Amino acid sequence: MSLFSPTTVGDVDVRNRVSLAPMTRLRADANGVPGPIVAKYYAQRAGIGLLVTEGVFPSAESRAYPGQPGIVTDAQAAGWAKVADAVHAEGGTVFMQLMNGGRVTHPDITGTDRIVAPSAIAIEGETRLADGTKVAYATPHALETDELATVRDEFVAAARKAVDAGFDGVELHGANGYLLHEFLSPASNQRADGYGGSPEARARFVIEVAEAVVAEIGAGRVGIRISPAHNIQDVWEKDDAETRATYEALIAGLAPLGLAYLSVLHADPAGELIQDLRRAFGGTVIVNTGFSSITTRDEAVSAVDEGIADLVAVGRPAIANPDLVTRWEKGASENEVDQPTVYGGDERGYTDYPFLQA
C-alpha cells in the first residue's frame, strides 16, 4: 500500500490514505449554522481521501467557541446537508466530528445556565467571547450519574442528524481536553461513582457513548479520536503507567465494536504506546502528530510505507492547499498558511488559497 492508494474506512471507500485532520475554523454564523463558505471549503478539499470536519457541538450546553457550528437545530442540519452534498458532488468522503466542549467554554458562549464536566474543576486561564472580551473559565457543573445518559443521548441524536444530512459517518472527539477526554484523565475526573477512580471506570463513559452511537448508525460509520499524553487544556496525563492503563482499558472496550477507525494524535505515533494500542484496536488507525501535524509529504508517505498507520491526518498543509494530494502526487510546491486567518473570519485564509494552475 502507499499514501496514494485507495482503501476502505468502515463502510466507505476512500480514494487515498490522506485524511483532513479535524481543525477548528469557526466560520459558522451566530446561531451555529454552517453557510455556503463552509460547503465550499470542504468541497475544495474533496481530493483528500477522508475529510473530517471541525468539532461540531451536539447540544447548546456543549458549544466551546463563538463561530463553532452545531448539529442541534433543523437550520444547522440543513446547512450541513449542503456541505455533504457539495463534498459528494466532488467525489469526496466526509465524516462529522462530534465534540462536546465540556468545561472548555463559558455560559456567555453557550447561552446556557451552566457548563458541564466530569468534576467541578475549572481550567486555569481565559477564553474569548464573541465580542472579543476575555473571561476566566467558569467552574463546570459536575455531571450527576443520572445525567450522563442525557449527554450520551445528545451524541446519539447528533450522529443520527449527521447521517440523515448525508454525512458518511461521524467521529467522536475524545481528545484535546474536551468532555470525553476529561473523563479519561485523573486530573479532570475525580468522580467517586462508577465513572471515576480507576482506568477502567474513567474509560467507561467514552465506551458507553461509542456503544450508543454504534447502535444508532452502525459501527462502520463511527470513528473516534484520542490524544494520549497530549497534555492540553489542563487534561494532564503525565504518569506513563496510568496513561497506558487508561487507554488500554479504553481500547479494550472499543475494539469489540468494530469501529470504522481510531484516530490518534500523539507526538510519537511510531512509539511503543501507540503501536500497542493500534494492535489492540485491530482495525483502521489514522495517525496525527499534533497541532503542527504531519507537515511534509515525505513524513506522510513514510508513515504509511513503514506501516505506522493506515491513513495519515494532515492539518496545516491542507488548510493552505485545497489540492494538497495533487500537489503531493506531483511533487509540486505548496502554499503557506496565513496564520492570522486560521480561526474565524470570512473567506480570506479559508477558501481563497490558490490551486495549482493546469
**Where in the sequence numbering do the catalytic residues fall?**
178
Q: How far is CA 212 from the centre of its chain?
A: 18
Q: Are residues 71 and 58 in contact, defined by beta-carbon separation less than 8 angstroms? A: yes
Q: CA 184 to CA 12: how far, in whole Å? A: 29
> Which residues does 203 contact at the CB level (< 8 Å), separation at least 6?
183, 184, 246, 247, 249, 250, 253
Of the CA atoms within 13 Å of residue 273, those in its CB half-sphere come to 22
Q: Are residues 258 and 217 in contact, defined by beta-carbon separation less than 8 angstroms? A: no
The letter for the amino acid at 95 is: F
Query: What's the burial of 298, exposed, middle or buried (CB within 10 Å: 0-12/13-18/19+)?
Result: exposed
Neighbours of 74 (CB within 10 A): 9
> Which residues does 75 contact at the CB level (< 8 Å), separation at least 6?
31, 33
Buried residues in 18-28 as b, exposed as e (16+ CB within 10 A):
bbbbbbebbbb
Q: CA 279 to CA 286: how far, in whole Å? A: 13
Cell numbers describing residue 313: 491526518
Q: CA 313 to CA 47: how far, in whole Å? A: 14
Beta pairing partners, 314: 20
Q: Select from 43, 36, 118, 50 the least CA-distant residue to 78.
A: 36
Q: CA 15 to CA 102: how far, in whole Å? A: 35
Q: CA 274 to CA 83: how far, in whole Å? A: 33
